[in-house]
A = this chain, B = another copy of it.
Amino acid sequence: MTKLFNDPAEFAEEQFSGFLSLYADRLRGVPGGAVALRSGEPQVAVVVGGGSGHYPAFCGLVGPGLAAGAVVGNIFTSPSAAQVYSVAKAADQGRGVILTFGNYAGDNLNFGIAAERLRKEGIDTRIVVVTDDVASAPEEDKRRGIAGDFTVFKAMGAAAAAGLDLDGVERVGRAANAATRTLGVAFSGCTMPGADKPLFTVPEGHLGLGLGIHGEPGIRDEPLPTAEELGRLLVSSLLKEAPDQAGRRVGVILNGLGTTKYEELFLLWNTVSRQLAEAGLEPVDPEVGELVTSLDMGGCSLTLMWLTDELEAYWTADAYTPAYRKQKAGTAGLISAEQQQAGQEAEQAEAPQATPAARDLAQLVLAGLGTAQSTLHANETKLGEIDAVAGDGDHGRGMVKGIDAAVAAAQSAAADGAGGAWLLTRAGQAWAASAGGTSGVLWGAALEAAGASLTDGRDGYAAAEAVDAVSAFAGAMTDLGRAVIGDKTLVDALLPFAEELRAAVDAGTALSEAWAAAAGTATEAADATANLKPRLGRARPLAEKSLGTPDAGATSLALIVTALGRR
């Protein structure tokens, strides 16, 4: 609901004056709209426009690389011919003017009148009408312009910035429009300033398919789908409308209409991007966010512009406007995610000098990790089933991913002649990066801590060092996880294990014997967690449900230490 205004009749004018004062460093207000302050050589002036209430369209798109000017009408109302004429004259740089706008009767009329007058005064003026909304008519040239306004404006703005002449910019605009398709859905209506009810409503629990950006009727109302279903619907509908000779690369806009938030759009993007990939399409510089809105309307739209090499160059080009900024320099010098991860790992992989004893230890660590690996693989399904009672059932999967990455990293470090401490450090880093989730981070940190407690500079490793490593492992777990005994977590098995191990070794018991005994205690403790209510992870009220099932994390730990004790 639009809540902030003074006199509703002055809403459009007042908001525009605030906008102009905010961006006075780069825009100039003229009667009827705004023009960009100039820099560089004269260009063809791309003048966009339409009613207010669609921000960033239209005035938010004025600036280098995009529009030279925007005509600003009243809310959802075409600007007058006089306004168009005034803005176009101010935007003209002597190389001609393109008037471009969505296909609505009022806009066609007023921009058309202005164009006639401009031509009479010797200003070469072309009109490029945007017709991207596949829901509005079967005939391409009768369709409305909605979020596809943006792809067409962007292509022409970049073409003008590249120095093309009027014929060239017009040609690019027509090509961009011919390559652009949009389908939108509405979840809720929008309310004009001062009105006490929305312009239109969508039945509760439904969406309006193909609704226009001013509430024009859509194709039909449908029950509100999941994000996954909606993503499929949008993509499949647009693919049916693909232009002839469509290539594989597409510019994409997943546009929010006002009250549909960025988080929701990001979530929807998961499905949209997957569906596009399955259809063999490659998104280029996708934009997910608000580009053409409709006051406080709930809903979104998907726009595809099938790219030629020329359109791709303009779609990906730099621009800098109040609401849309893109500069290659903004990511200049960035390295790719893979390079960065590799670089970071390489940095960390400088193994410290290892004594012969540390290299012997490395073989023990490697064998131990191998034992853990086969144990976890053998129990993956069982661990998942335990976790599924009160969690999302991914514990077994996560542990297997973690141990596999850990073993691979340790093998690679051992091949480089590293010591056992360093193997554990690398194993921990790899586990955390690969396992995912909080338990992955904890296992990773604990393995790293164990490695750090050992160091690779000693001349021998005895039972005391093993006990310290286990304590360091447990310390990292409790430092970060902050669980205490009785919380129904891995700590319920880990702490008794570590304590009993230390006590037995301190009392002179051989390590292997002490370990096996402690492992037995850990198993009992893990089983005993079946009698505990779980901690309320993810705020799920599953406390009662998991009674009778042991904790998956405690079970994992008990299985591993038991297997290690058998070696």
Contact = CB atoms under 8 A, between A and B. Distances in A.
A436 interface: yes
Interface string A1-42: 111111001011011111101101111101110000111100
Contacts of A331: 25-26, 39, 64, 320
Contact of A1 (B187, B333, B441): B187
Nearest to A333: B39
Given A261-B296, A331-B25, A479-B120, A6 B267 contact: yes
Contacts of A227: 4-6, 14
A43 interface: no
Contacts of A64: 330-331, 334
B82 A21 contact: no
A413 interface: no
Contact of A269 (B21, B38, B337, B437): B21
Contacts of A486: none
Contacts of A81: 480-482
Interface stretch (A111-119, A359-367, A369-377): A111-119
A18 B266 contact: yes
B273 A85 contact: no
**Which residue, of A296, A436, A481, has the highest number of chain B Cβ atoms within 10 A?**
A296
Contacts of A268: 4, 18
A3 B539 CA distance: 21
Number of copies: 2
A293 B433 CA distance: 30
Interface in A37-66: 37-40, 52-53, 55-56, 60, 63-64
Interface in A295-337: 295-296, 298, 300, 320, 323, 325-327, 329-337
A262 interface: yes
B320 A327 contact: yes
A476 B81 CA distance: 12
Contact of A31 (B288, B295, B433): B433
A22 B262 CA distance: 12
A243 B320 CA distance: 35
Interface in A436-462: 436-438, 440-442, 444-445, 448-449, 452
A141 interface: no
A113 B479 contact: yes
A540 interface: yes
A4 B264 contact: yes
A535 to B, nearest CB: 12
A77 to B, nearest CB: 8
Say which size band chain A's interface belongs to: 35 or more
Given A15-B266, A293-B261, A31 B437 contact: yes
A224 interface: yes
A555 to B, nearest CB: 20
A174 to B, nearest CB: 26
Contacts of A444: 86
Given A26-B334, A334-B39, A82 B18 contact: no
A85 B6 CA distance: 48
A553 interface: no
Contacts of A260: 3-4
A544 interface: no
Given A55-B261, A268-B4, A332 B39 contact: yes
Contacts of A440: 31
A297 B215 CA distance: 22
A80 interface: yes
Given A3-B298, A5-B226, A28-B341, A266 B37 contact: no
A63 to B, nearest CB: 8
A86 B432 contact: yes
A80 B31 contact: no
B480 A2 contact: no
A117 to B, nearest CB: 5
Contact of A4 (B300, B337, B341): B300
A400 to B, nearest CB: 16
Contacts of A28: 337, 340-341
Given A4-B260, A9-B538, 11 more contacts: A2-B261, A6-B267, A21-B270, A22-B266, A37-B336, A82-B438, A82-B441, A82-B445, A85-B445, A320-B331, A327-B327
27 contacts: A1-B188, A2-B261, A4-B265, A5-B226, A6-B226, A6-B227, A11-B263, A14-B267, A18-B269, A18-B270, A21-B270, A21-B273, A22-B266, A22-B273, A26-B334, A31-B438, A37-B340, A39-B334, A52-B263, A55-B261, A81-B482, A82-B480, A86-B441, A261-B293, A261-B295, A325-B327, A327-B327
Q: Which 9 A-B pairs have the closest CB atoms?
A: A320-B330, A39-B333, A18-B266, A4-B264, A18-B269, A82-B441, A325-B325, A15-B267, A28-B337
